[in-house]
Chain A
Amino acid sequence: AQSVTQLDSHVSVSEGTPVLLRCNYSSSYSPSLFWYVQHPNKGLQLLLKYTSAATLVKGINGFEAEFKKSETSFHLTKPSAHMSDAAEYFCAPNQAGTALIFGKGTTLSVSS
C-alpha cells in the first residue's frame, strides 16, 4: 500500500524568497509522483510529474521537484516566490494499476 505525508500544513514566505514544500511517500514500488496546485475557488491543476525519467523535474511557473528514492521524498521548490504562487499544493504518488492518493495539502502564503 502506498501513503503520502506532506510535512507542513502551512508555509509562509515573503515575495522573492525561496519556497520549499515537503513531501514524503511510502510505497512498495517506485511510484510515479505528482504535484498539483489549487488556487482559491478553483479546480486542481498539474504542476509537475515524475515518471522514472530524470530525477529533477521542472514544472510550470518556475517550480521544480527532485525525486530522491533513498529518502522517499519528492520536495517541491521554487527559487523566488511570487504573490500569484499563493495556493494550496498537493503531492500524490501513484503505483501502476491503482488510483492516486493525495496528501493533506500545504497552504502556501506569500507576503509582500
Chain B
Amino acid sequence: DADVTQTPRNRITKTGKRIMLECSQTKGHDRMYWYRQDPGLGLRLIYYSFDVKDINKGEISDGYSVSRQAQAKFSLSLESAIPNQTALYFCATSDPVRENTGELFFGEGSRLTVL
C-alpha cells in the first residue's frame, strides 16, 4: 500500500458543486501539503499544515479550504467548484526531523475536472 493515499484519483464534477479531496498517510509525518499542477505552471502550493493545529495558506489558496482532521489526514475542499480549478492535485508529506531533510513524499495525485 502507498504511504500517501489520495482519494478520489479521478473526479468529474459540475460548476458550483462542492468537492472534497482526501489525503491520508502512514508515514507518521507531521507536515502535510496540497499542491495543484497545471501544464506549464509547475506545482503551486495551495495550503500546508505543519501539525494538527497549524494551517497555512499557500500561493493560491483562494477558492479552497482545508481540514487537518488528524496527524494522518488532510482534506482539501472546493466549496463551489469552477472550471479553472480543473487540475491535477497532489498531497504530500514531510518531516524534517524524522527524515533529516525537507524532502516531500507525494501521493499519486487526484485529477479533477470541473465542467
Q: Which residues of A contact B (CB under 8 A)?
A: 6, 9, 32, 34, 36, 42-46, 49, 51, 90, 92, 94, 96, 99-105
Contacts and interface: CB of A to CB of B under 8 A. Distances in A.
Contacts of B102: 32, 34, 94, 96, 100
Given A34-B102, A102-B43, 15 more contacts: A6-B42, A34-B103, A36-B104, A43-B107, A43-B109, A44-B90, A46-B103, A51-B101, A90-B42, A100-B45, A101-B45, A102-B35, A102-B44, A103-B42, A104-B40
Nearest to A44: B106
29 contacts: A32-B101, A32-B102, A34-B102, A34-B103, A42-B108, A43-B90, A44-B43, A44-B104, A46-B103, A46-B104, A49-B101, A49-B103, A90-B43, A94-B102, A99-B33, A99-B45, A99-B48, A99-B56, A100-B33, A100-B45, A100-B102, A100-B104, A101-B45, A102-B35, A102-B43, A102-B44, A104-B40, A105-B40, A105-B42
A23 B64 CA distance: 30
Contacts of A94: 102
Interface of B: 33, 35, 40-45, 48, 56, 58-59, 90, 94, 96, 100-104, 106-109
Contacts of B103: 34, 46, 49
Contacts of B96: 96
Contact of B40 (A9, A45, A99): A9
